[in-house]
Amino acid sequence: MSNSVKRSLIVSMLVSLLMSLSSAALAVGAEVQEIEPEKGPHRGRMLREGDFAIELAIFETGVPPEFRVWASQGGEALPPENVKVSVTLGRLGDGDDQINFRPQDDFLRGDMEIVEPHSFLVTLNAAYGDKRYEWQYDNFEGRTRINDDVADAMGITTGTARSQVLVEQLPLFGRLVADTNALTQLSARFDGVIKAIHVSLGQQVKAGTPLMSIESNESLKSYVLRADIAGEIAALPVNIGEATAGRALVSIVDRSRQVVLLKAYPDDRRRIALNNSVQLRNDTMDVIGEGEVQWISPLLNADQSADIRVSVDASNLALPAGSFIRGDVEVARYEVPLAVKRKALQSFRDFTVVYAKVGDQYEVRMLELGREAGEWVEVLGGLKPGTEYVTDNSFIIKADIEKSGASHDH
């Protein structure tokens, strides 16, 4: 059994174990069920001390999410201008949000947008008359805790969100072909009978190397057919004693002088320029070399594609002429202030997210995404530069959070 297969089995077992532990924790929680927080008439959380009460709700109908507060005493609504309220949101790894309130209609309105995730330690301070009140509660969502040794065993790895150079590549397909004058097929100058063959298939020859001896039908004298280029004997479809009969007797190819011909259709062709770099891949998608766009055909083939000629160091390709090649042509390169790896992305509710890591805790970060190129995706919002985030096996974090049933409490 290979090491990669063993590792996959270990990860699967650990994920199953983690899920089982989460299920067990939920079962225990079901036995000792937490009391659901009291909700007020505006579907906000009720906070009470004596006969004084505060309802704190996130309001997001027609406006970005914001906190609103309704105050009451003895069940009677209080004028909002008579109550002072402030709220502090303690966020995981991102500092605190300090929210102040001003009267509006029959409520107090917070002065800042409550950005996602709505996951924080809430501290509310209120003042009415000569009395001061304070409440504190957890409002966590999209968050879980996994010990570092367990995370390591599961193959969970992280990176740091920072600026990146994005390289856009255009995948094209074609073949490896012999360059101009790098392939020759030799015939007899005078037809006759092959008397001797001096080379063999695959043999390297120089220009002028004797290839075979032929007895002319007219003079009955022998002459020598010689190589006209240096290269490898690629075809030798004859035997001693056969008549030359005007056919090709030997083919020589200079494998160091091969090029890649890719096909580009009009929309792609317009994005390609001379000297664009090209990453070459074989039929199993392994990278086998680099090249540059050397020529763009001004003519279209019957299928409306244009030939794109890519110069390569063919001596390192170790592929025969005619091999299928994929060429990833670089068409743009630019730096973005912030990017994350594409494989780190997961879905959470209606958002695309990554999982930020703070200590042994992981929490969603809802992203606004921009351009994509290769393994990177530009981040326009939702993540602070320098944030440590999960790059590999982020699906494990997603599964654990979904299993725990993290809520979205408004």
Is residue 120 domain-shared with residue 56, that is, in the same domain?
Answer: yes
pLDDT, average across residues 65-73:
97
Alpha-carbon span 233 to 210, nearest angstrom = 12
The residues with which 72 forms a beta bridge, in sequence order, are 53, 77
Q: Are 161 and 385 in contact (CB under 8 A)?
A: yes
Alpha-carbon span 312 to 297, nearest angstrom = 18
Q: What percent of the chain has pLDDT over 70?
A: 89
Whether the predicted pLDDT of 17 surpasses 60: no
Instruction: Render pLDDT for 361-370 as a digit per residue (tens, 0 to 9).
Output: 999 999 999 9
Alpha-carbon span 303 to 97, nearest angstrom = 60
Q: What is the mean pLDDT of the chain?
A: 90
Of 29 and 12, the structure prediction assigns the larger pLDDT to 12
Structural domain boundaries, residue 303 = 170-177+257-332
pLDDT, average across residues 307-321:
82
DSSP E strands in 129-239: the ranges are: 131-139, 143-145, 157-160, 162-178, 183-187, 192-197, 204-205, 210-216, 222-226, 231-235
Of 254 and 377, the structure prediction assigns the larger pLDDT to 377
409 domain-assigned: no
Whether the predicted pLDDT of 149 surpasses 80: yes
36 domain-assigned: no
262 domain-assigned: yes
Q: What percent of the chain has pLDDT over 90?
A: 80
3 domain-assigned: no
pLDDT score of 16: 56
Is residue 396 domain-shared with residue 342, that is, in the same domain?
Answer: yes
Is residue 387 domain-shared with residue 362, that is, in the same domain?
Answer: yes
33 domain-assigned: no
pLDDT score of 24: 46
pLDDT score of 285: 87
pLDDT, average across residues 347-364:
96
Alpha-carbon span 102 to 395, nearest angstrom = 42
Residue ending a domain, choose from 313, 332, 351: 332
Alpha-carbon span 196 to 217, nearest angstrom = 15
CATH classification at residue 195: 2.40.50.100
pLDDT, average across residues 3-25:
51
Q: Are 160 and 393 in contact (CB under 8 A)?
A: no
Is residue 191 domain-shared with residue 245, that is, in the same domain?
Answer: yes
End-to-end CA distance of the chain: 50
Alpha-carbon span 20 to 152, nearest angstrom = 19
Of 252 and 24, the structure prediction assigns the larger pLDDT to 252
Whether the predicted pLDDT of 136 surpasses 90: yes
pLDDT score of 30: 40
1 domain-assigned: no
Is residue 60 domain-shared with residue 131, that is, in the same domain?
Answer: yes
155 domain-assigned: yes
Instruction: For helices 3-31 and 394-404, give the axis angle rounded to 10 degrees.
Output: 20
pLDDT score of 23: 46
> Is residue 32 very low, low, confident or very high in pLDDT (cuts 50, 70, 90)?
very low
For the chain, the domain total comes to: 4
pLDDT, average across residues 302-315:
89
**In a 10 Å sphere around its CB, with 0-12 CB exposed, 13-18 middle and 19+ buried, how is residue 212 labelled?**
buried
CATH classification at residue 122: 2.60.40.3340
pLDDT score of 70: 98
Whether the predicted pLDDT of 178 surpasses 50: yes
CATH classification at residue 382: 2.40.420.20
CATH classification at residue 316: 2.40.30.170
410 domain-assigned: no
Is residue 111 domain-shared with residue 164, that is, in the same domain?
Answer: no
Is residue 217 domain-shared with residue 263, that is, in the same domain?
Answer: no
Residue ending a domain, choose from 293, 312, 332: 332
Is residue 50 domain-shared with residue 78, that is, in the same domain?
Answer: yes
- Please state, as a whole number, how many other Cβ atoms lie within 10 Å of the Cβ of residue 73: 15
pLDDT, average across residues 33-47:
87
pLDDT score of 122: 97
Is residue 88 domain-shared with residue 102, that is, in the same domain?
Answer: yes
pLDDT, average across residues 15-27:
49
> Is residue 372 very low, low, confident or very high in pLDDT (cuts 50, 70, 90)?
very high
Of 156 and 255, the structure prediction assigns the larger pLDDT to 156
Whether the predicted pLDDT of 88 surpasses 90: yes
Whether the predicted pLDDT of 190 surpasses 90: yes
pLDDT score of 19: 52
Whether the predicted pLDDT of 212 surpasses 90: yes
Residue ending a domain, choose from 210, 228, 253: 253
Q: Are 158 and 183 in contact (CB under 8 A)?
A: no
